[in-house]
Structure 1
């Protein structure tokens, strides 16, 4: 028998042997092969690990059995010269690909020697902050503003990231000189919401920013023109679920309001009206026909629409109300008894 055939038979026999082994046998085999550390005088005593010294100590006699234990826990020491510094972290900020160099700068605390730099009040200053150019400083401030707006609107991070990318494109293009960065950031947030399919109104963006509604609208049009962006038109269905959720309306009322608004647009009953005012009027009509009635003021506060605007859209839809409701809708108040305005 040749050596190759002999080696093959040995390999086959070992393979069959290991295929028939149970997990318990494998664990016992591993425990037998791995070296175990124990105290020679007290082999059954559980060892205590001293991570500070890197030793394993027997609790019965205090004998050091093993040394050089690697501590895999969190580093809690502080490496700053400032005694009041509560942050023990010695890592920098997370990498930001939108900034030049990824924002991988290191903040070095000033030392106690004569070379330390302090301001007029004696507080230490960081020298590498002087090297931060104005472009990166503007981007950092804009990204912080966008993040704060996203938090106030309860928007996910993906929308804030899209708004950051839009602001980066506008900033690099230098096509909106003279416009404030806060206005550009607000408009980028508005565009990002529409591109991600969760549109917000100008009033909602204005409520969480420092910019007026008119200025956000102007910058929004300029960004679309300069970046050649296309955003889908907003519809009544984009706001219906959010409005009904804030008003604590049941799903049946939400479905009815969605159907009412959709049919009103298809029948051209509300020409020239914004989708937000149509959605608010549809919610008002559906709620008045159900047991969960909501006033025009309550709906206007949630939708950001004036009561007069809701009333005008409702008056246009009211004559055809019998054609707008779904066929399976259960009326708590008949259509004939709905308010005329």
Structure 2
């Protein structure tokens, strides 16, 4: 129910406040009730602690893309107590176990469900081994689901497509992980993962930005225990290299490794080319060649090599 306002006495939008106890919108300037008897859209119960709120809430958790059914289904718990808290007798406990077994079987019925269940487990495993954040795993799960919907998984290894989806997700979220790093945690070889990655880009129109060498600097520097000043200097070196066109067509991990090596030398935090190459996932030859190119083209002087 609304009260009519005259055009001369309209309340500014930023002065309108809501009184939850009365269910009214009120103008804070003149106290006029603009709207009353507002229906409360919140729960009919009250909670004063997070524990009470969680206990009384009747909704489930948020959607989880890394579960094959997005976490929408209900699971029968392993607890051997009834709703009141009394212990179940052995016969009743066995009956509940049978319910749980058939409920789990009923969750996965179609071939797509079985495929997604296996793929999401694989995605979770690879993501945990790589230390990827949840946002990256969720993005990879979405890409894989799109591939399943378009029938791209048929006839291909689930592991290969999952690894390709994770790599595409890392590229989209600017997380520095190379194809070799991801492929080493799967039974599929790098060539097969790369083929599936190109297929996803072509068929799903996944927008992937060009890999930036600076994305690798923080990760490589952290693993080597370098200071923030050295990592900042390495990023500045890569910016200069990009401005003169040195980064075009070069492996970003190799460029980042060479810039880290130069920055460590300049800041007297010496690390060997072998150490840096192992952390960056490239060869010593690559680090050495990129290092020579950078110091020659950018006129960087290294003292006491």
Using structure 2 for the length normalisation, give the TM-score: 0.67
- Secondary structure at 1:216 match in 2: helix
Task: State how far apart, in whole Å, the 1-side matches of 2:175 and 2:197 are.
Answer: 17
Given the superposition, is the C-alpha separation of residues 147 and 316 from structure 1 closer, same or farther in structure 2, using an over 3 Å criterion?
A: same
Residue ranges of structure 1 left out of the alignment (5+ in a row):
1-71, 76-91, 325-334
Task: State how far apart, in whole Å, the 1-side matches of 2:298 and 2:69 are.
Answer: 58
Cα deviation, 1:252-303, whole Å, max 9, x if unaligned, reads 2112111112212322345532111111111111212221101111101110
Indicate whether 1:273 and 2:250 are aligned.
Answer: yes
Partner of 1:207: 184
- Secondary structure at 1:308 match in 2: helix
Partner of 1:337: 303
How far the C-alpha of 1:190 sits from its partner, in A, is: 1.0
Cα deviation, 1:134-169, whole Å, max 9, x if unaligned, reads 321221221122122222222221111111111111
Correspondent of 1:196 among 150, 153, 173: 173
How far the C-alpha of 1:320 sits from its partner, in A, is: 3.2
How far the C-alpha of 1:126 sits from its partner, in A, is: 2.5
Task: State how far apart, in whole Å, the 1-side matches of 2:288 and 2:238 are.
Answer: 14
- The question of whether the paired residues in 1 share the 8 Å contact of 2:266 and 2:302 is answered with no
Kindly report structure 1 stretches of 4+ aligned residues shifted beyond 6 Å. Answer: 92-95
Given the superposition, is the C-alpha separation of residues 125 and 303 from structure 1 closer, same or farther in structure 2, using an over 3 Å criterion?
A: same
Indicate whether 1:236 and 2:213 are aligned.
Answer: yes
Q: Which deviates further from its counterpart, 206-215 or 186-195?
A: 206-215
Q: Which deviates further from its counterpart, 197-206 or 264-273?
A: 264-273
Partner of 2:102: 127
Using structure 1 for the length normalisation, give the TM-score: 0.60
> How many residue pairs get matched?
238
- Secondary structure at 1:337 match in 2: coil
How far the C-alpha of 1:200 sits from its partner, in A, is: 1.4
Given the superposition, is the C-alpha separation of residues 130 and 210 from structure 1 closer, same or farther in structure 2, using an over 3 Å criterion?
A: same
Task: Please list, as runs of the form range in 1=range in 2, the aligned pairs for 1:1-341 lying within 5 A after superposition.
Answer: 96=64, 99=68, 103-107=72-76, 126-131=101-106, 132-269=109-246, 271-322=248-299, 335=301, 337=303, 339=305
Question: Which one has the largest radius of gyration?
Answer: 1
Partner of 1:26: none
How far the C-alpha of 1:93 sits from its partner, in A, is: 10
Task: State how far apart, in whole Å, the 1-side matches of 2:194 and 2:304 are.
Answer: 37
Residue ranges of structure 2 left out of the alignment (5+ in a row):
1-51, 79-89
